[in-house]
Amino acid sequence: MFKSQINECEDVLLSMKLIVNQLNDVIQKLNEDDIKDMLQKILDAKRIFVMGAGRSGLVGKAFAMRLMHLGFTVYVVGETTTPAVKEEDVVIAISGSGETRSISNLGKIVKDIGSTLITVTSKNNSTLGQLADTSVILPSKTKTDQDHDPDSGGDLEKNMRGDYTRNLPPLGTSFEITALVFLDSIIAQLISLTGASEAELKSRHTNVE
């Protein structure tokens, strides 16, 4: 009955609001010391490598592209001309669960090489969280969590959800959006710290597309 009053568009707006609530929730829970540590390691790095699988990998690429615009020497693991990682390099792994097999295997290789590993994840107790020199924890629902995990959102979400059972985006969506928003805000901070202008960024943006 109530259901029939929902036209096909209502869940789009509701989902967007839930995402906004989750973002607000994450902002409250961020550990500032970890973020400062991540910023320091990025600013000190000679070369930065970014890696992630699936949609987390896409978020990693979006971050890597902006680091390039800022003038950093940055590579995406798995792309054509990405060189060997060396001891003095910084590798940033993006993984909601911190357990994605391929990425945690690569995390071990990275630590065997002796490189610095930064993980952006929602799970501190994960393989990648434990391997990393610095972990930034973004508390979010990931694709290995159960449906309707009571910890997957803030109270607001639960209130808003009411009888709705499907309106939160699926699998690791919450993590991936949160990671993109967080990493773009790392970029905002790096712009502030390095004094880069938007004109400088545009000058490095690909002109052959």
**Which residues belong to the active site?**
176
User: Among 45, 85, 118, 137, which residue sits at the site for its own copies (rule: CB under 8 A)?
Assistant: 85
Stretch that binds its own copies, among 29-37, 125-133, 154-162 (CB under 8 A): 29-37
Please report whether residue 137 would count as binding its own copies according to CB under 8 A: no
Please report whether residue 5 would count as binding its own copies according to CB under 8 A: no
User: Among 41, 111, 143, 161, which residue sits at the site for its own copies (rule: CB under 8 A)?
Assistant: 143
Site for its own copies in 161-180 (CB under 8 A): 166-171, 173, 176-177, 180
User: Among 62, 131, 156, 160, which residue sits at the site for its own copies (rule: CB under 8 A)?
Assistant: 62
> What's the distance, CA 37 to chain centroid?
16
User: Among 4, 5, 8, 159, which residue sits at the site for its own copies (rule: CB under 8 A)?
Assistant: 8
Q: Which is nearer to its own copies, 59 or 129 (CB)?
A: 59
> 156, 128, 154: which is closest to 140 by C-alpha?
154
CA distance 184 to 171: 22
In the complex, least distance from residue 45 CB atom to its own copies, rounded to whole angstroms: 14
CA distance 25 to 101: 28
Packing angle between helix 32-44 and helix 173-194, nearest 10 degrees?
60
CA distance 137 to 179: 10
- Rounded to 5 degrees, φ, ψ at 136 are -105, 120
In the complex, least distance from residue 181 CB atom to its own copies, rounded to whole angstroms: 5
Q: Point out which residues pair with 50 in neighbouring strands.
A: 76, 92
In the complex, least distance from residue 22 CB atom to its own copies, rounded to whole angstroms: 10
131, 111 Cβ separation under 8 angstroms: yes
